[in-house]
């Protein structure tokens, strides 16, 4: 089991781990980009929430199989009250949540159509070249 943050999913405590680099490389990065584009376009709608759930499910899949924790159970137990805390946990654990960013993204912002910042890039936005 990968370490992470304990999270109550309905009446069940689960460990929500960070996303892996492999997950980001194998399609989840594209979902994150799609999420961020929707936020930047001001599309704070159901599709945005659905993308978040899909990303949260991917994080949970690192610790729980579909048999142990079916997608349908996750969809049924995530709601307006716990979606944002789960989202913040995944971003924070994965190193994608810049300091102060989580506080700026409030549940009432999404419910009232307010602004929710996109998940921040892994750097300060500057291009970085790795050398040996």
Each residue of 4-30: pLDDT tens digit? Answer: 999 999 999 999 999 999 999 999 999
Average pLDDT of the residues of the chain: 78
Pairing of β 12-16 and β 5-9:
antiparallel
Q: Which of 3, 1, 10, 131 shows the shortest CA–CA distance to 72?
A: 10
Where in the chain are the domains? 5-111
pLDDT recorded at residue 129: 37
pLDDT classification of 93: cutoffs 50, 70, 90: confident
115 versus 86: the higher-pLDDT residue is: 86
Q: What's the predicted TM-score (pTM) here?
A: 0.72
At 91 the pLDDT is: 86
Contact between 5 and 89 under an 8 Å Cβ cutoff? The reply is yes
């Amino acid at each position: 089991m990968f370490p992470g943050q304990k999270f109550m999913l309905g009446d069940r405590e689960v460990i929500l781990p960070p996303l892996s680099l492999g997950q980001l490389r194998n399609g989840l990065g594209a979902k994150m980009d799609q999420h961020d584009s929707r936020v930047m376009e001001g599309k704070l709608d159901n599709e945005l929430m659905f993308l978040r759930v899909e990303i949260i499910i991917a994080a949970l899949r690192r610790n729980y199989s579909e048999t142990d924790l079916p997608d349908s159970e996750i969809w049924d137990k995530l709601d307006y009250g716990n979606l944002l805390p789960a989202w913040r946990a995944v971003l924070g654990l994965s190193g994608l949540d810049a300091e102060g960013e989580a506080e700026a993204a409030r549940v009432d912002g999404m419910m009232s159509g307010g602004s929710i910042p996109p998940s921040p890039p892994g750097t300060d936005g500057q291009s970085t070249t790795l050398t040996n």
